[in-house]
Amino acid sequence: MFMRFAFLATALTLGLAGPAVADTAVLDKLKANRLAITLDKGALTGPGAAPLLQASRQAQYVLLGEDHGVAEIARFSSAYFNALAPAGFTTLVTESGPVVASALEGMLRRADAVTAIARFDAAYPDAIAFYTMRQEAEMLAGFALAAGPRFEHWGIDQEFIGTARYLIAQMLAQPVNPAARAKLEALRQLDAVASHKAAASGNPLEYLMLSASDEELVSLRPLLAGPNEQTALGLLDALLASRAIYQKSASKVPGDRGLSNAMRLALLKQTLASRLGVQEQKLLVKVGANHAYKGINPLNNRDVGNFLAERAEGQGRSSLHLIVLAAKGTQLRFAGAGKPHQPAPIELDSPASKLLASAGATDGSWSLFDLRSLRPGLRKLAAGDSDVFNLINGYDFALIIPEGSASAQLAAP
């Protein structure tokens, strides 16, 4: 999906033997501890279900790292999360912006949640990342029902590229002074023009979040100084922070994309930290696979997964990290501003993920691997393959689905 940017496949070097040595040894170990897991009428069954659920229920934080846009992964997530709700997991953390996540939380408390999400998407195109896919929206709605009255949805990411329209509407709904209101009305008109251009060209850089001048946005800030205008100011700051990340990400200046990634990681962690208390509730975290690693991930970063793993350990608790991938098939991907998403081939982009896929069952069943059992003697086992080394240290379990199918996009109601 646009602006979640392709993985930059970097890795550490352990300075041991070549990765080919690791492949055979690790592959044999993986196959030896492979367990089948089945999704049957919305419930997880098979030999792998019990150990995965037992380990997950004992954790304070459960992180699911995924490849986005695969229907089977969304259905697995739904069954997995619903099974954990009775164990106290009633808060879901996603790669959504906090403002839009709050709007989604309200929709998810309604009986027509999926329809409400589709209606919101039609009114505010490209304001919601990922959850305008039908299976993902159904997963959210099902989990909200399973979690019951204690359900919470936390978004910890930047607001998505088309969110300016919704943020402006929310600011206009606040008690702002006449000068600020006039400025916001002018921005709303600019947004209408920008959104039309973005939809016509398919270029998300045309959206107001990126096409507006600095003066048009920053000049609003000093107008929101009153005590009753702090909510509107917070919404503006969310827009500006998201804009800054996207600007660096789209820049052609050397080093800016790396800076964008660092800015985004800081935002993810800071936003999450602002929601956590001393005795916080258990959390389910559903993010892209690179984000959920303990330790160093393939981008050579310490991401949200490591942040929560360290926090849990410091509190005498634990985190559980599960990676879920489809070995082949198709996934739904962003295809341009205001355009229908399009299916695209699944391409596993790291040696470790390809190794997991090759260890999967050949009879079409789903394969669960307990990676913790491979950690004793891992340095020798990995034989210098840093990608394999980091994956086995970074994830506790891995689930391989032999073939995935692209999620379906929600249709406008």
Mean pLDDT per segment of 10 residues, for the chain of length 413 residues?
35 34 80 94 96 98 97 98 98 97 96 97 96 97 97 97 98 97 97 97 96 95 96 98 96 95 96 83 96 94 97 95 97 92 92 92 94 93 89 97 96 83
CB neighbour list of residue 377: distance below 8 Å, 6 or more residues apart: none
**CA pair distance 329, 233, nearest whole angstrom:** 45
Of the CA atoms within 13 Å of residue 271, those in its CB half-sphere come to 24
As beta bridge partners, residue 283 has 61, 91
Rounded Cα distance between 413 and 411, Å, is 6
CA gap 10, 252 in Å, rounded: 20
DSSP 371: G
| 3 state DSSP class of 107 | helix
Cα three-residue angle 313-317-318, rounded to 5 degrees = 80
Query: Residue 149: how many CA atoms within 13 Å on its side-chain side?
Result: 0
Q: Nearest 5 degrees, angle CA 234-CA 240-CA 241?
A: 90
Which has the closest alpha carbon to 371: 28, 30, 22, 21?
Answer: 30
Q: Which helix (H) or strand (E) holds 370?
A: strand 366-370
Which runs of E-coded beta strand occur in 230-311? 283-288
Say if residues 184 and 168 touch (Cβ distance below 8 Å). Answer: yes
Contact 320, 55 (CB under 8 A): yes
Give the distance, in angstroms, between the CA of residue 380 and the centroid of all CA atoms in the same chain. 33
Amino acid (one-letter) located at 173: A
- Residue 301: predicted pLDDT: 93
Give the pair of three-digit tokens for residue 186. 């002018």
Burial category of 243 from C-beta neighbours within 10 Å (exposed 0-12, middle 13-18, buried 19 and up) = buried
Q: Over 116-185, what HEC string results?
A: HHHHHHHHCCCCCCCCCEHHHHHHHHHHHHHHHHHCEEEECCCCCCCCHHHHHHHHHCCCCCHHHHHHHH
- Per DSSP, the chain holds a count of helices (H) and strands (E) of 16, 11
- With 0-12 CB in 10 A as exposed, 13-18 as middle and 19+ as buried, what is 209? buried
What pLDDT does residue 368 have? Answer: 98
Residue by residue, DSSP assigns 58-101 as: T-SEEEEEE-TTBHHHHHHHHHHHHHHGGGT--EEEESS-HHHH
